């Protein structure tokens, strides 16, 4: 069990540092290799559970499956870093923690077991709500950034129009060819056609 934890932590760190250090998206081959590593780790963890029996085996299996699901979701978030994939990774963590906690509750009986399951469910609901809030916050920031960019663009256009109006007003002091030359120059400076 300890070997599984160390291997999982090492894999998670390798995934995090390998893509972070490169600063670029991972290739399809790298993604496939990491998926294969996750599958091998799960298979090893699953076979390690065979020595246990009863609820201890169920707990071991829930832990192995949870780590596999989290690793897959994290990998997908690294391979395709979208808000939705990051949300799915957070949900995978909540689901894995819930499945493991629920299995651990099976060691209890009666009201204690009911309370244990209710606490596990509450923790899952809380984690999912946090993940949803994080995704919505990120979406709101992106929308605000878009609106902010639009506002800056509109402000720049308004400033150009105002400067152009001033330049045209200055051109009114001239007549004939000088005025035409002034207007042409003002148009060129302020991006008007």
Q: Is the pLDDT of residue 23 over 50?
A: no
Q: Is the pLDDT of residue 2 over 70?
A: no
Q: Is the pLDDT of residue 66 over 50?
A: yes
């990120």: which residue's tokens? 138
What span, in angstroms and rounded, lies between the C-alpha atoms of 11 and 131?
Answer: 23
- pLDDT (tens digit per residue) in 143-167: 777 777 777 888 888 888 888 888 8
pTM of the model: 0.59
Cα torsion 115, 117, 120, 125: sign: negative
Q: Is 54 helix (H, G, I), strand (E, B) or coil?
A: helix
What span, in angstroms and rounded, lies between the C-alpha atoms of 84 and 92?
Answer: 12
- Residue 126's pLDDT is what? 85
Q: Is 32 in contact with 13 (CB distance < 8 Å)?
A: no
- Residue 24's pLDDT is what? 57
Question: By CB neighbour count within 10 A (0-12 exposed, 13-18 middle, 19+ buried), where does 49 fall?
Answer: buried
What span, in angstroms and rounded, lies between the C-alpha atoms of 34 and 75?
Answer: 8
Element (H, E) at 129: helix 110-171
Q: Is 34 in contact with 8 (CB distance < 8 Å)?
A: no
Residues near 155 by beta carbon (within 8 Å), at least 6 away in sequence: none
- CA–chain centroid gap for 128, Å, is 14
């Amino acid at each position: 069990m300890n070997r599984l934890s160390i291997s999982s932590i090492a894999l998670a760190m390798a995934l995090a540092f390998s893509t972070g250090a490169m600063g670029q998206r991972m290739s399809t081959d790298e993604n496939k290799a990491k998926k294969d590593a996750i599958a091998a780790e799960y298979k090893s963890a699953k076979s390690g559970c065979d020595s246990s029996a009863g609820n201890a085996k169920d707990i071991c299996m829930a832990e192995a499956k949870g780590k596999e699901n989290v690793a897959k979701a994290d990998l997908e978030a690294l391979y395709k870093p979208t808000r939705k994939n990051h949300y799915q990774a957070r949900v995978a963590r909540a689901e894995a923690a819930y499945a493991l906690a629920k299995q651990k509750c099976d060691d209890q009986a009666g009201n204690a077991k009911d309370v244990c399951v209710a606490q596990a469910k509450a923790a899952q609901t809380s984690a999912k709500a946090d993940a949803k809030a994080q995704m919505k916050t990120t979406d709101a920031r992106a929308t605000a950034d878009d609106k902010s960019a639009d506002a800056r663009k509109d402000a720049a256009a308004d400033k150009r129009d105002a400067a152009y109006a001033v330049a045209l007003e200055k051109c009114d002091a001239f007549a004939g060819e000088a005025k035409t030359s002034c207007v042409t120059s003002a148009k060129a400076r302020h991006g008007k056609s």
